[in-house]
Structure 1
Amino acid sequence: MKRGAMGQEQPPHYKIYVKMVKEVALDVKCTDTVDQIKSKIGSIEGIDKNHQALFFGGNHLENNNRLADYNITTNSSVDLYVTDGMQISVSIPSVGKIIKLNLKKSQSVADVKAEIEQKGGIPLDEQILMCGCQQLEDNKVLSQCGLSNGQPLHVLVRPTDKLRISVSVDVERTVNLDVKSWYTVADVKLMIETLEGLPARSQILMRTQPGGAETLKDTDTLQNQLIRNNDTLTLYQNIQFFVKTYEGRTLTMSMKTCDTVDEVMKKVEERSLAKAGVYYLHYRGRALCPGDTLHKHKVVNNSTVEARLHNSHVSMAKQKETLGS
């Protein structure tokens, strides 16, 4: 052993390991008390020593006892339990929510924000967590912020300026875009035109919500539409195509690629006075199924779809032609 200034022998330093959420190595002496060990842990991890309970070999370590009293030697592992549980209320005025969180003073502010994201739906990087007039820094633990059980916090929401969104083009391929929250829907369409060659004027951007699909207006910003980072939009196109009827008429149709075959037939019936169920649509060698979208059958701009009579009606039509001649 080394001798101190008064000639007394000093015990050597050695390491022990304290098991927490992570393992922390401490430089200690066998004469250190449990209370001193707790102070070391508090200075490193920010955990108040009054909320620490240390155990070794199943025995609860008393504050005034030394490590040597428990035969804690070099490279020993001591278990730490944190007894700092508390409940706080978090108010999120922008969405009218108040949520209760069960926390520990040893948790960081970033940990609290992660729980608010999970329970309140506010992305972590958009939160400013306030206690009174004080903004809480992400790297601080709650014990360093002076929080007590039952103390209310509130969240200011600061939308992120930069966004990464995905656009599903005709449910066929996906385009990823880096945008700003203040971009308008029209701006996004111009970006897609540049990347994909699809004219902006023919594009229809939609967002699927629990109540159904919603078409986004060109003049609205992404922020006004509550579009967030990693959201996915769906893009369809306005197309003009032609329907050639059995009688030889050609009808010009302006529709969306997400419109169904049923919707096309309804327009044909309205404009040609055809009876429902008499015609079916035929395109590129195949009949178009009711309920399918124009996109599914790859109906494109300036293409021609035929409205054909069902077989039974073809025979009747031929008989009428014969009688007429």
Structure 2
Amino acid sequence: MMKTVTLDVNCSDTVDQIKSKFSAIEGIDKSTQEMFFSGMHLKNENTIAHYNIMTNSSVDLYVTDGIQIFVKIPSVGKTIKLNVKKSSTVSDVKAEIEQVEGICMNKQILMYAGRQLEDNHMITQCDFRNDQTLVLVCPTDTSDTLVGLPVCSQVLTGMQSGVGMVFPDSQTLQDQRVKNNDTVLLKENVQFFVKTWEGRTLIMVLKKSDSVKEITKRIEEKLLLKEDMYYLCHRGFVLYPWDTLQNHKVVNNSTIYIRLRNSVFMDPKAKKG
């Protein structure tokens, strides 16, 4: 469509503000707008003055199906920005991440709003819009040694006045009054997934010594699902509230499944073990 629209702007207006003004007139979402002046691609954060755009200048506008998203990578404490098409699939996004960060596609799990995104789904099917954030979970090989122990699996503890205390991640060793030659204990957490009957995936991090009861507490908080309405399964076995994660060999990146009691699966009350 060839059309000319006149806009009243200030030299201090940013490109993003101009896109908003154009959107108010023409109803075209600013996330789909790309502007060019004298062959230069105009960046949202820059002003009109930055590009030396004068009165009666002409700016070219192209409408695309592009969308800008952010991908948070907790394992490395980093968030990256990607420009993708709305028609792209989740697999396409993973390929872009591999190109930018070098993380193999088959080691990527993309999460949004508490659910895992399927590779064959398009961006438009995932119900997220411009400038929203995905979370990238990178499965790691588990190990019985401290070498390569994932950061999310580490818990530091120490003694304070004869009492064992967990050190919060946000505090320094000085905050915890750790002195030279003091001993700090490293305990291991387990990051695992809980998959619902609807296909949603929850990410949880607990200590190996925690009981299954801790999982049910979190499920009730996040899904408002009472414990008597379901039971948990891992590797084909029913998990009981009094058992620990270690007893059931729940390791990093394991998946625990929620089974409704009115499903076709055996009710665990009928048989133990």
Range class of TM-score, shorter chain: 0.3 to 0.5
Superposition TM-score, scaled by structure 1 size: 0.30
Higher relative contact order (CA closer than 8 Å, sequence separation 6+): 2
Greater strand proportion: 1
Superposition TM-score, scaled by structure 2 size: 0.35
